[in-house]
Each structure stands twice: as structure tokens, then as C-alpha cells.
Amino acid sequence: MTELRKITFAPVDLEALAAASGRIAVFITADGKMSPGARRLNRLTRGAVARAVESESWEKMKEAQVLSLAWPSGVAAEAVDLVRLERRADASLARKAGAALARAAGKSGLTILAESQRGIAEVALGLALRGYGFDARKSEKAEALGDAVLCCTKPEEAEAAAAPLMAVAEGVVFTRDLVNEPANVLDTVEFADRLLALKALGVEVEVLEEAQMEELGMGALLAVGRGSESPSKMVIMRWNGGVEGVAPLALIGKGVVFDTGGISLKPSAGMETMTMDMGGAGVVAGVMRALALRHAKANVVGLVGLVENMPDSKAMRPGDVVTSMKGDTIEVNNTDAEGRMVLCDVMWYTQEHIKPAAMIDLATLTGACIVALGHDHAAVYSNDDGLCGQFLKAAEAEQEGAWRMPMGQAYADLLKSPVADVRNSGGRPAGSITATEFLRRFVQDGMPWIHVDIAGVAHVPRDLVLSTKGATGWGVMSLNRLIAENYESE
């Protein structure tokens, strides 16, 4: 797994500033009010800090942005980074400030004069997440990230506050690595092996093979993987950190390690991005890692269906009729509408064998979701206003865009089949909604459920505040917060 930047917390030592290597960062308010550390840096640099804060460049800066002074005289550091941030900034701005420092620092080490700044742990989270880069498949590895030391008035308290956030960062990075991996590396076997490694953290992991799923009647999931040499699998991860006997929250992820579209072949342009079609499973895996690392006092089960959708003489064809684990028959009118067929069997298994308190599925399910919401929001659907409200609140707090979408019988009617109980695709109109209506058939009465279509947010074409172009790890932080606020015991 990609290693995070090493971040430590230490008491403030102003006498050591002159000799500090790498870069030195300090927080300054918009009106230029300087902390003791900033005043010391100003004296050491012969007034360079004050001149910068009085400059037009500083006036034009927004909150949480950085103004860098390269190779200032009076200190050994290669740069002094001035961070425009109010002393009592909220968590979102503190994370942005940490991310801005990560961008400014690159690979260099950092001495950060946090002093009595509020939200030091959140600064550390932003610094950790924005420093991520994926180079596992490059022959020349990038230079290792330099360490960061946050110098503050109460380092023990800051370190304790940062510990659970760093656990979440580890989960986000685990997800990003999985989503960024090419499909010839992360096939279904390798994916399952990486999830089995979570046993070392105390997660119970079980892998169901094709023969076991055949016995369970999971005909929809198995139909998707028939054209691939990679065996289909279902992985069940259990974190039992809560009160014994309390029903768990179930997280369900689509894990299509590569999606060609099958016989309904996708256009070649852009197909290389379909290595990310296991993004839902990646998010579930990241959440399970985060929960284990922070020893969450909750019962959570993560289930992922791992398949590859390839064209082959054994592949499912348009017009085939397959039988789901529920017993519903499905007319396959589009083999590229495969993710919902994976999810429906995993969802039914979850309800029959896990008996969860609620379930949330995540999937890079439809291109229609991207047409509707772009790369800024995931599409959220639910049959339970309370659960949905809790999730949307968590997503808003974590600054992960999520937007609730409609459902209804008119959309479900588009899935009617003349030869089977249901078709797997309702065509182009309202494609994300009809996919959700397909899944709703496999939600039992009384089961609180959320479906999250993350097609637009799992892997993005531009840099974001906390991530670079590519895999984002979207959803790990929101789900972790949902669990912390609603499913953990005292």
C-alpha cells in the first residue's frame, strides 16, 4: 500500500528554527496578526515575513492558501510557507490548509509552526491525503515524501486527536490504491488476497468461491463473470467492534475489476478507465480498514462481489434469461448493465445470511449518473428518509458531494420484460434511476437501504482539494463518519 507522509507532533522550539531543513510553515491571520513563531521567523528573515504579509499578493489570497518565500536569508530552510488561516478556522478550512501545504512542499520535509492553531489534527489529515501519489507500476519510483513535524503547544492532545483521522486516511489511501491499480494486476484473485490481508488488523474475512455461490443460487452475479478467466468471488469482511448481538450495518460494493461491456461491447475510446469499475468494492474495503485501525466500537459487515465482465464464447448474451438468488428471473437486454446483477445477488445474500440493521450499496453503476451530476456529486437513492438524512449529513460534513435523487413506479415500469420477471436495463432515459429501481426489487420489506452511484466521483479527470487526478477514495470519510455518529456504542 502507498505509504502516507510521516507526520509527528512536537513542542514548539523557536530556537531550532534557524537550522531547520526542508521547509518551514507558519499560520498567519488575514489581517497579518503574527504568532510568536511568525514573529521569530520575521526576525530571522530580516522582515521578509512582514513584507510578504503587507504585499498585494497576500491581499489577493483566499483563506487556507499558501504564499511561499523561496530560499529566504537567515534560515537554512529552502522555503518559508505562509498559510493564510484564522486561528479558529473550521475543519474544512484546516484540511484545505494542510492540502495546500502538501502541494507547496512536494517531496520536501516540513516543520509546521502550528502553535495554538485550532484544528491541527485536520491540518494533518489534509497534509496526508493531498500528499498521495500512485507510482506502484512505474519502474522509477518517486522520491519518498519528507517527514512533517507539527510543532504545537499541546502535542500529546494533537496527536490523540489526529490518530483516528490518520486511520481514516489509511482507509482512503487503501481505496485509492485499489482503484488506481490496472486490471492485469488487480484481478479478482489479487483483490480477494488484499482483502484477506485485513485479517492482520482483526477483520474476519471469508471468501466464497464460484461453487459455493452456485450452490446459493447466485445466478445473476455468476452470469457476469462467465466470459472471464478470472474466477468470480464474493468476499465478506466482518468488523465486530460493537456490542455483541447488535445487528451490523452492511456495506455492499460492486467489484467489477474490468468492464469491457461484455458482448454489448463498450466503445474503445476511454475503455482503459474501466479499471475503476470496482470502485464501490474499493470504498467498502477502505472503510473496513479504517474501522479496524481506529478500533471502532461498531458492528459492520462489508460484502463485495468480485467479477470481470469480458466477451467470450461462454459470456452472457443479450436475450439470455438468468435466475437471481432471490428467484427473480432477469432478461439480459444489455450485458453492459452488469453491476446491478452483481449487486442484486450480494444484497439478497446479505439480507438472508447477515440480517443487518441497514444496508448501503456503492457502485460505479451508470454513465447516466455522470451526465446528471458530473464529477462533483454522487447520486444517492434511499427507501428510508432517516438513514438517508444521516448519510447526507455525514457527506456534507466531510465535504464529499452527494445529492439525493428520485425513484418511483414510472421508472420501475421501464424494466418490464415480456419473457422474464424484469429486464436488466431500462434504456438511456433516467438510466441511473432505472438501475436503482432494478436494485430495489432485491430489498426486502422493512430493510433500510441506500444506493450510492459513485460513477462520477470515484475516479476524476482533475485535481481536487484533497486528491490529485485519478482515484479519490470518495465515500470512505463519509461512511466512517456515518458509522461513528450513528452506529458506535459508548
**Grid-cell match 470512505, residue found:** 476
Q: Which of 340, 423, 441, 481 is catalytic?
A: 340
Contact 124, 169 (CB under 8 A): no
Q: CA–CA separation, 397 vs 288, rounded Å?
A: 20
Q: Which of 266, 297, 393, 404 is catalytic?
A: 266
- The count of other CB atoms within 10 Å of the CB of residue 474 is 34
**Annotated catalytic residue 266:** yes
Contact 263, 319 (CB under 8 A): no
Look at phi and psi of residue 33 and say left if phi exceeds 0, alpha if psi is from -120 to 50, else beta.
Answer: beta
The Cβ-side half-sphere exposure at 347, using a 13 Å CA radius, reads: 29
Q: Is the dihedral of CA 168, 174, 180, 183 positive or negative?
A: negative
**Annotated catalytic residue 6:** no
Contact 319, 331 (CB under 8 A): yes
Nearest Cα residue to 44 out of 76, 13, 70: 76
Contact 223, 322 (CB under 8 A): yes
Distances (CA, A) of 57 to 82, 289, 309: 12, 42, 52
Catalytic residue list: 266, 340
